[in-house]
A = this chain, B = another copy of it.
Amino acid sequence: MPRKPGKSAVADRDAATDRKIVALAEGVVRKALAKKEPVIDVPTRTRGNTIWDRKHRILRMGDAKAQRELFNLNQAKQFMQTMLHSHSVRELIAAQKTLSLRGMFYKGLHTVAGTSEKTFADQDESDGILEDLEVCLGALREELHVFAKKAGTIVGNVTLVDSGDEIDCRRMGSGGYAIPSIVEPDVIQFKKCEARFVLHVEKNTVWSRFNEDRFWAKHNCILTEGGGQPPRGVRRLLKRLNTELGLPIYCLLDCDPWGHYIYSVIKQGSISLAFESERLAIPDAKFVGIRAKDYRACDLTDDVKIDLNDTDIKRAREIAAYPWFERHKGWQNEIQGLLDNGFKMEVESLITKDISYVTETYVPERLKALDWLD
């Protein structure tokens, strides 16, 4: 996160965010001076205000807004919390520093003078206000200088520049380069890339198998993992690899509703982050497996079966009804296949065939046969 000084792109972005905050504050002051009630408009981040944009194949936030009024007992606290966090963000921009979500909670935390009322009851309250602020200002969390816990690693045929340091992902040993929470172009630049695609896997233990077998060197690609459901930093990096370098993104996930959900979020975005789908969602992302058909196709034994429970079945049906899946014959068949099987399968189950079956046979064959869901 140390930013290179003098970079005009960063300065421009920060200046724009700063102006948005000043405009928000000036709106409040103007109303107050005119003896009117200060009000801010907050776009509604609910399922009801989430729209499936069929043309662009991403989830978007609709136009619904709620007014947050200062002189409303139910809203005054949130109103003031929004102002408080706006102030903190301006300080971060001025200091050219970033803070974690937990750090923002503490930064804004104090007892209101003359009362025993804390500004925030807990971090959840603080996190919610930050998301409100993102949509109010039309500025991403990264632009507010706020970061989250990082997770995920990358290796492969690409050189990145991170805060001025050249990161040669071909020379990252067994550990890999840890993907930071903020990967915007002012922090991370792409320098040199020969890779033809990205293979994204769910778990870091599977990633280690692929790295040890040097899959990325043999198949000229980039290998990433996101520690389960990938955090924003990982999704954003995948998105940039996809759009800026034109690399297809292939996902290798478990054959279960959780794997399908991870794929869905990578591909179309999520309801809670619908306001930044354009920056995160990768409509062209492909699902190479594990597929429901693999029990037969790979000649697996009964030992790898993990029974679906009631929650799994319910989740599978919900996912099948997602607007981007409900008219997709391939995905309808896939989810029906999972339900018909009655069991889940993990990527690691392929180890019952051979330690390196997944890296040497499964993925190469599927890619060669263009056998995936998208």
Q: B-contacting residues of A (Cβ < 8 Å)?
A: 1-2, 91-92, 95, 97-103, 105-107, 109-111, 118, 147-150, 153, 160-167, 171-182, 187-188, 203-206, 208-209, 211-214, 301-304, 346, 348-352, 355-356
Q: A305 → chain B, closest Cβ, in Å?
A: 11
Question: Shortest beta-carbon distance, A183 to chain B, in Å?
Answer: 8
Please tell me which one of the listed residues B172, B206, B214 contacts residue A177 in the complex, with CB atoms under 8 A apart. B172
- In the assembled complex, the CB of A225 is this many whole angstroms from the nearest CB of chain B, namely 10
Q: Provide the bound-state CA to CA distance between A101 and B206, in Å.
A: 11
A174's partner among B102, B109, B175, B182 (CB-CB below 8 A) is B182
On whether A205 and B303 interact (CB within 8 A), knowing A106-B351, A106-B352, A355-B95, the answer reads no
Q: For the complex, what is the distance from the CA of A206 to the CA of B350, rounded to whole Å?
A: 38
Q: Tell me if A205 and B103 are in contact (CB < 8 A).
A: yes
**Which of A99, A150, A164 counts the most chain B CB atoms within 10 A?**
A150
Count of chain copies: 2
A338 shortest CB reach to chain B, Å: 19
Complex alpha-carbon distance, A177 and B172, angstroms: 8
**Which of A167, A177, A179 gathers most chain B CB within 10 Å?**
A177
A215 CB → nearest B CB, Å: 11
Asked whether A172 and B176 contact (CB < 8 A) given A208-B98, A208-B147, the answer is: no
Knowing A165-B173, A205-B149, A214-B2, the reply to whether A352 touches B109 (Cβ < 8 A) is: yes
- CB-based contact B303/A118 at 8 Å: yes
Q: Is chain A's binding surface mostly helix, strand, loop or mixed?
A: mixed
Give complex CA distance A91, B167 in Å. Answer: 35
Among A148, A205, A350, the most chain B Cβ lie within 10 Å of the Cβ of A205
> With A and B bound together, what is the CA distance between A250 and B89 in angstroms?
31
Instruction: Kindly state the separation between the CA atoms of A252 and B350 in the bound complex, as whole angstroms.
Output: 41
Are A173 and B162 in touch, CB under 8 angstroms? yes
- Closest residue on chain B to residue A187 by CB atoms: B174
Q: Contacts of A102 on B, CB cut-off 8 Å?
A: 205, 346, 348
* A97 CB contacts on chain B under 8 angstroms: 212-213, 355-356
Specify which chain B residues have a CB less than 8 angstroms from the CB of A178 in the assembled complex: 153, 175-178
Minimum Cβ distance to chain B for residue A176 (Å)? 5
| Inter-subunit contact A106/B304 (CB<8 Å) | yes
- Nearest-neighbour CB distance to chain B for A140, whole angstroms, equals 16
Complex CA gap A181/B97 in Å reads 31
Residues of B within 8 A of A213 (CB): 97
Q: Are B149 and A303 in contact (CB under 8 A)?
A: no
**Interfacial chain B residues near A346, Cβ < 8 Å:** 102, 106
Contact A348 B177 (CB under 8 A): no
Known: A97-B356, A99-B351, A348-B106. A174 touches B153 (CB 8 A): no
Contacts of A302 in B (CB 8 A): 111
- Cα distance A106–B355 in the bound complex, in angstroms: 9
A129 to B335, CA, bound (A): 36
Per the bound structure, the CA–CA distance linking A203 and B151 in Å amounts to 12
Q: How far is the CA of A97 from the CA of B58 in the complex (A)?
A: 41
A355 engages B304 (CB within 8 Å): no
